[in-house]
Amino acid sequence: MAEKNGKAPQMEEEQDLSEILRVRRDKLKNLQDQGKNPYEYTSFDAKQHAQEIVEHFEEEYEGKQVSVAGRIMSWRDMGKAAFMDLRDSTGRIQLYVKIDMLGEEAYRSLTASLDIGDIVGVTGEAFRTRRGEISVKADSMVILSKSLLPLPEKYHGLKDTDARYRQRYVDLIVNPEVKDVFVKRSKIITAIREYLDGSQFLEVETPVLHTQAGGAAARPFITHHNTLDIDMYLRIALELHLKRLIVGGFERVYEIGRVFRNEGMDTRHNPEFTMLEAYQAFTDFKGMMDLTEDMIRTVAHKVLGTGKVERDGVEIDLDKPFARISMVEAVQKYAGVDFTQVETLDQARKLADEHHIEYEQRHKKGDILNLFFETYCEEKLVQPTFLTGHPVDISPLAKRQKDNPEYTQRFELFICGAEYVNAFSELNDPIDQRSRFEAQAALKAAGDDEACDVDEDFLTALEYGLPPTGGMGMGVDRLVMLLTGASSIRDVLLFPTMKPLD
């Protein structure tokens, strides 16, 4: 099946790229000169999809007329006939295109115009070839959109990871398994919504633009509102607005939305990511712990059909009750340091020096305990584990423990050494909250870009009265990574943040 320059489509990889581009544009011009501009098509009545025909061939489609549309991914020339692979959103199906079926003029015109990557519409009879492959014997075929660029590496896929992330559209074309990850991502988010909706939570939407950055320890993105002539911040968390709704009388609310943090990028972090936050009145962090565990287990079974997933060769069992350990217990277990015996900041600093843990002058005793945890313990928490008992110094929005006010009613869920969930018994004492905000503001004034300011409106809301409340925040992207086996957050974001090539 010759192209205009006499070279078969399968040999394009041997041609110079500029020649390939010229040939493809010449083919487009020839089509247009014949009054067959492919870009003028507004629709094609594709009544079936590839997977549907293959799965229901015997009982429904054998010998029947079908119509399909999709992209040509490969092409095997047989002289007066050709076999092509067509891929649509559901999968692939073979096309059998024969000169005496289309007619010689139509066949020659089509084969002179067609390239791998073109999008076509086909009607014909569904049949099984002598080799047993379910196919469509084309009696009509039209080019619906001309591909002016060759697909990278043809049918072998796009391997360069940087190019895959930059040009996700090409990645999806040549690596069909990538699409499965994002189909699964959609199902995971749907399952989360169904779980929370079924637990009487109300989904709400809160502002993305904030006049103050708060709700998390993170550096915000700053923008400027021209009409109001004020700086504003892309939200770093959903928390403070959702808790205002609990003050207003809603008892169970949640939001799934993008948050933005102007921080480093690695396999677990992207500047914008998807967060789930849920708040429930008249419960505490233990109630949120039960909800979190049951929700993750339920979502896994709904999407995967199992509570067991594999990460880095290790089976993670979501069906077993999640382990629970306090930060002090974890540090004692894995670092051999007992912080119940540490009474002063000087003692904590001395221990840090002895264990070669770097700290800053602004760090308090609780910060140093957390540094010990991050250094010695975090990577050890492979199976699902709730970490509890965080110091007040690193938990400005969590309620204190009644019997040990240096620590809070808070948990983080760790799996495979990574944090998936952060949750509290929410601090509802406006006087205590003000003092913690003021401590944060002092840290910010001293140069801590991740500290927050005093949020006077939120304090006003607390003074009207926030009922006892449990809240949780979960990184949705990390849950998708866990349930799809992805090793990088970029593999579960359709369009991850990338530095421009120029």
| pLDDT tens digits along 220-267 | 999 999 999 999 999 999 999 999 999 999 999 999 999 999 998 999
SS (H, E, C) 222-256: EEEECCCCEEEEECCCCHHHHHHHHHCCCCEEEEE
Distant-in-sequence, close-in-space partners of 337: CB < 8 Å, separation ≥ 6: 331, 351, 355, 372
pLDDT at 405: 93
pLDDT at 285: 97
Question: In DSSP terms, which residues pair with 259 in a beta bridge?
Answer: 273
pLDDT at 8: 47
Is residue 475 helix, strand or coil? strand
Average pLDDT, the chain: 93
pLDDT at 159: 67
| pLDDT tens digits along 176-202 | 899 999 999 999 999 999 999 999 999
Query: Of 153 and 339, which is predicted with more confidence?
Result: 339
Q: Quick one: average pLDDT of 124-133?
A: 96
Tokens matching residue 80? 């007066």
| pLDDT tens digits along 467-499 | 999 999 999 999 999 999 999 999 999 999 998
Determine contact, residues 19/27, Cβ cutoff 8 Å.
no
pLDDT at 152: 85
Distance CA 340, CA 351 (A): 13
Q: Quick one: average pLDDT of 294-321?
A: 96
pLDDT at 6: 41
Distance CA 49, CA 59 (A): 16
Q: Quick one: average pLDDT of 271-291?
A: 98
Q: Quick one: average pLDDT of 412-434?
A: 96
DSSP H or E stretch at residue 317: strand 314-317
Buried/exposed 50-66: b ≥16 CB within 10 Å, e otherwise: bebbbeebeeebeeeeb
| pLDDT tens digits along 436-455 | 899 888 888 888 888 888 99
**Alpha-helical regions (H) of 94-198:** 99-102, 104-113, 161-166, 168-174, 176-198
pLDDT at 231: 96
Q: What is the pTM of this model?
A: 0.90
pLDDT at 15: 59
Distance CA 407, CA 342 (A): 13
> Taking Cα atoms as reference points, which of 269, 290, 208 lies closest to residue 472?
290
pLDDT at 155: 42
Q: CB count, 10 Å around CB of 42?
A: 6
pLDDT at 374: 97
Distance CA 66, CA 48 (A): 7
pLDDT at 420: 97
> Taking Cα atoms as reference points, which of 23, 20, 7, 24 lies closest to residue 146?
24
Residue in the block written with tokens 């959609």: 186
Is the confidence at residue 153, as pLDDT, over 80?
no
